[in-house]
Structure 1
Amino acid sequence: MNTPFRPGLTGSRLDRADQIRVKDELLDEVRGNLRARLLKLNDLDPEINPDGTLVWGSMADRPDDAELLFLGLDDGIPCFAPLIENQPPAGQRAYAVWRHLDIMPPEEASTYAAARSLIEWHRGHLFCSRCGTRSALSKGGWGRKCPECNAEHFPRVDPVVIMLATFEDKALIGRQPLFPPDRYSALAGFVEPGESLEGAVTRELFEEAGVRATSVRYLTSQPWPFPNTMMMACIAPVEDDALTLDTEELEAAKWVTRAEVQGAYDGAVDAAFIAPPHFAIAHTLLRAWVDGK
């Protein structure tokens, strides 16, 4: 990855091997490979080893009612995830998986994120949006195809901007009611149709906090599989530090200094807030600002 930043959930070692997933005969070969591995999951949550690496089984571990999603090749070894279609999308809930992400290396979490996002997408898109017929897996699980009208459907990724507003030597952080007590993060929001990243950052900052961006600088990105967003991190200086909060979106917001952010990262007893978890891109964003990037 050609960037000075390494967000969590990035850097998977898997070769997605598009040349295989577009040809049924090659997919049959990798499915029959004696070294092929199947990702072990508890519904959508991963099984992990003590060092945080993913647990893989053999193809013999495949549940009877599971289809196979071809994730790619790991040093030539085919890797799959099981898809049980009759289970509903997870929806919003308290994520027990966060305890696993806390110890998972970024590249392992990245592989898991791809598998989880694919599974959730399939469970929520079993029927053709054009004609309503139940569709079938295609391209090794990286798409679906309707047997009636031949429409092809591909996994959806929703674009989200996550941004740090800055004024003089301060940065703006906020919290939602669902956050753990005292946890704050960067502000974020979905990119709307017909909108640039810069436009989305500017709009969201004004809507949520009443501050007007004077410029927007893109920093880095992260896939976030809860369920399927692409987080794009930006830094945006603003005109002034007066806040007008949208209390439907934010429970609270405040300006913090670099020293206060560093205190949160250090776990100081008098820290001004609890920092976002290290695997979240908000952590990377605040770290970059503290380091003057």
Structure 2
Amino acid sequence: MTFGGSGLDRAAHLRGDAAALAELLAKPDTGVLPFWHGKPLIAGQGRDRPAWQAVDHPVFEQADEEPIFLGLDDGVARFCRDISCWEPDEALETLHQFLDPSEQHYPGMPEDERFSELRAIMTHLSPRDAELVTMAKAIGSWHEIHGFCARCGAKSEISMAGWQRECTVCRAHHFPRTDPVVIMLITHGNSVLMGRSPGWPEGMYSCLAGFVEPGETIEAAVRRETFEESGVRVGAVEYLSSQPWPFPASMMMGCRGHALSTEITIDPTEIEDAIWVTREEMMETFAGNNPKMKPARKGAIAHFLLLNWLRDTLD
């Protein structure tokens, strides 16, 4: 799975050390990754690597907050920095769509360095690059919507190298949040339950998923979300695997649920459709031979769960 972790040294002990961070920012090999409206700067004709920039690159004249420290990549310091204040000349009709196909080029940069939608290029990245980019996107998304104190409403500022915000008035401290989400491989005999949300690309189906509510266990969330969305009741639940998912900042907790019923009654406010798919039909889908359904996106935990179900390797 993409974003599954590569053993990056996050060097959290350096986040509060201003002198050490200044020293890292002064090193010639330190890289800073620009982000624009949640899109990382990606290099290569195959869109296969982050386009790290020097700390003093002119692109960062567009930044309005300090760099965020990501960690040490085999000893090399990595930061990210948002430049969403920049306004490109290109049309932006597709910005913030589910899968934005547009790419933006910053003047003066190499032609192959462009701001690209992470969903479109995530499987092109190495495990280490994917971990760095997903961390940068998730923490950047948090800063984007937490510029003001939730306690008193005053402007807040970046602190602890980007891993905290501090209110300039009441001095409250605010920390990044990750939303727990259950994603469920619901099976009954030889079939798996698949659903699609409104606005998804044509033919796109995936495992059902939903947010864990306060005071709720993972198992209870699997049962509640499945019933709310599809009307299917679930018995035994088993945890399988997890994946950070930076759209904008979720932790996907993959589970298997054993259905106690098969009748489907969808909640149209939650999903657009839900269907039972046999193992044979899913194999045809993964092979690209199902005109009505596309396989789950490679790199996503839904693809990982379904593929292991098909291989009978969930255990």
TM-score (norm 1): 0.90
Higher relative contact order (CA 8 A, sep 6+): 1
Q: CA deviation at 1:94?
A: 2.9
C-alpha separation in 1, matches of 2:37 and 2:226:
36
C-alpha separation in 2, matches of 1:107 and 1:10:
9
The structure 2 residue matched to 1:63, chosen from 53, 60, 64, is 60
C-alpha separation in 1, matches of 2:135 and 2:147:
18
1:215-248 Cα offsets, whole Å, 9 max, x none, are: 1111111111111111111110011211111122
Q: CA deviation at 1:133?
A: 1.9
The structure 2 residue matched to 1:142, chosen from 143, 155, 163, is 163
C-alpha separation in 2, matches of 1:85 and 1:150:
26
Aligned position for 1:81: 80
1:289 aligns with 2:309: yes
Superposition CA RMSD, Å: 2.0
Could you tell which deviates more after superposition, 93-102 or 164-173? Answer: 93-102
1:128 aligns with 2:133: no
1:263, 1:272 within 8 Å by CA — same for their partners in 2? no
1:69, 1:83 within 8 Å by CA — same for their partners in 2? no
Aligned position for 1:21: 15
C-alpha separation in 2, matches of 1:205 and 1:42:
36
Aligned position for 1:93: 97
- Shift of the 86–60 alpha-carbon distance from structure 1 to 2, 3 Å rule, reads closer
C-alpha separation in 2, matches of 1:84 and 1:252:
39
2:205, 2:293 within 8 Å by CA — same for their partners in 1? yes
C-alpha separation in 1, matches of 2:85 and 2:176:
18
1:173, 1:187 within 8 Å by CA — same for their partners in 2? yes
The structure 1 residue matched to 2:267, chosen from 246, 260, 277, is 246
1:166-224 Cα offsets, whole Å, 9 max, x none, are: 11111100112211111110001111111011110000111111111111111111111
Unmatched 5+ stretches in structure 1: 1-6
Residue type matched to 1:191 in 2? V
C-alpha separation in 2, matches of 1:263 and 1:250:
24
The structure 1 residue matched to 2:4, chosen from 7, 10, 27, is 10
C-alpha separation in 2, matches of 1:247 and 1:130:
36
C-alpha separation in 1, matches of 2:69 and 2:191:
46
C-alpha separation in 2, matches of 1:79 and 1:92:
26
Q: CA deviation at 1:48?
A: 2.9
2:37, 2:84 within 8 Å by CA — same for their partners in 1? no
- Shift of the 75–105 alpha-carbon distance from structure 1 to 2, 3 Å rule, reads closer
Q: CA deviation at 1:65?
A: 4.2
Aligned position for 1:228: 249
1:255 aligns with 2:249: no
2:8, 2:128 within 8 Å by CA — same for their partners in 1? no
2:34, 2:82 within 8 Å by CA — same for their partners in 1? no
Q: CA deviation at 1:11?
A: 2.0
C-alpha separation in 1, matches of 2:249 and 2:287:
31
- Shift of the 42–127 alpha-carbon distance from structure 1 to 2, 3 Å rule, reads closer
Q: CA deviation at 1:129?
A: 1.1
- Shift of the 45–13 alpha-carbon distance from structure 1 to 2, 3 Å rule, reads farther
Aligned position for 2:295: 275
Residue type matched to 1:29 in 2? E
The structure 1 residue matched to 2:177, chosen from 150, 156, 175, is 156
C-alpha separation in 2, matches of 1:108 and 1:37:
12
Aligned position for 1:3: none
- Shift of the 106–257 alpha-carbon distance from structure 1 to 2, 3 Å rule, reads farther
Residue type matched to 2:75 in 1? G
**Identity value in percent:** 40
C-alpha separation in 2, matches of 1:53 and 1:91:
22
Q: CA deviation at 1:83?
A: 2.6
What does 1:181-220 correspond to in 2, within 5 Å?
181-220=202-241
C-alpha separation in 2, matches of 1:187 and 1:278:
17
2:36, 2:82 within 8 Å by CA — same for their partners in 1? no
Residue type matched to 1:125 in 2? H
What is the DSSP-based 3-state SS (H/G/I as helix, E as strand, rest coil) of the residue aligned with 2:50? coil
Q: CA deviation at 1:102?
A: 4.1
C-alpha separation in 1, matches of 2:215 and 2:50:
39
